[in-house]
């Protein structure tokens, strides 16, 4: 999140789904020997998707349930949400060369420049997948003109997009153990879950509390060998 510290907001975008009108597995409290049962019969009445714009530093998410996520649906929604996000950011009042390195276009683009010159101050980084629709020239030029840098995840590297991590949480909360019968039900449940999340959002950070707990666990499982740089498993040394 170095860009956030440099005064540039970082957002992640993704389109979750499609989600079908089928029973979804999930845990529930039931009397012993009387597990919850779901119907094995269902009708395929269409699907729903969730457009997601997520700011990991604050945990706030902007999302919308839709029947399809084609460019004619995604692009207008994304532009409107980015304009709202940009309106909440402080204005840039210093020259480009006096801003931190991560807040300068040259740091990210090198000698290359796009769109009208001079470029608008860099105010937001948009992390999303490397899809054909995300590479639309009209959209990319619109992003640069509004001070937004599109940052594409590499192939097989979509896990770097934190929006996908958040979507797994939201979808599990919305659909686990449920049997929606229409795409509109799925959309309503997803958007209600998003509203509940935003009431008490959880920031996502690299190297956060979970990472620190894993690091402490690794230290406990290993011990230095005779003062050297090598280490051995604590449990294997006990077994010996």
Each residue's pLDDT tens digit, 194-230: 999 999 988 887 666 666 777 777 767 666 655 555 5
* Same domain flag for 171 and 130: yes
Enclosing domain of residue 191: 2-199
Q: Are residues 103 and 219 in the same domain?
A: no
- Of 84, 89, 96, give the one whose Cα is nearest residue 53: 84
| 105 and 184 both lie in a single domain | yes
Does 175 have pLDDT greater than 80? yes
Q: What global pTM score does this model have?
A: 0.77
Does 181 lie in the same domain as 151?
yes
Q: Predicted confidence band at 29 (pLDDT cuts at 50, 70, 90)?
A: confident
Condensed to tens digits (0 to 9), the pLDDT of residues 72-113 reads: 899 999 999 999 999 999 888 888 888 888 888 888 888 766
Task: Evaluate whether residue 206 is within a structural domain.
Answer: no
Indicate which CATH number applies to the domain containing 104.
3.30.420.10
The answer to whether residue 169 is domain-embedded is yes
DSSP-assigned letter for residue 89: S
With beta carbons less than 8 A apart as the criterion, state whether 50 and 16 touch. yes
- Number of structural domains the chain divides into: 2
Asked whether residue 205 is domain-assigned, the answer is no
pLDDT in the model for residue 213: 75
């Amino acid at each position: 999140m170095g860009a956030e510290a440099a005064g540039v907001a970082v957002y992640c975008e993704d389109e979750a789904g499609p989600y079908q009108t089928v029973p979804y597995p999930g845990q529930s409290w039931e009397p012993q020997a009387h597990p919850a049962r779901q119907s094995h019969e269902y009708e395929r009445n269409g699907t729903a998707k969730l457009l997601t714009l997520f700011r990991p530093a604050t945990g706030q998410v902007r999302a919308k349930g839709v029947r399809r996520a084609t460019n004619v649906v995604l692009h207008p929604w994304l532009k409107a949400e980015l304009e709202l996000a940009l309106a909440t950011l402080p204005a840039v009042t210093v020259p480009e060369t006096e801003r931190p390195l991560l807040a300068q276009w040259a740091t990210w683009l090198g000698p290359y420049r796009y769109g009208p010159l001079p470029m608008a101050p860099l105010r937001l980084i948009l992390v999303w997948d490397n899809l054909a629709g995300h590479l639309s020239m009209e959209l990319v030029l619109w992003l640069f003109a509004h001070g937004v840098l599109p940052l594409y995840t590499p192939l097989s590297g979509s896990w770097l997009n934190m929006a996908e991590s958040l979507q797994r949480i939201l979808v599990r909360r919305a659909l686990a153990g449920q049997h929606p019968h229409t795409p509109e039900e799925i959309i309503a449940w997803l958007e209600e879950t998003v509203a509940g999340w935003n009431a008490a959002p959880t920031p996502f950070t690299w190297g956060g509390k979970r990472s620190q707990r894993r690091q402490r666990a690794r230290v406990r499982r290993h011990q230095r060998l005779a003062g050297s740089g090598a280490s051995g498993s604590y449990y294997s040394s006990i077994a010996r």
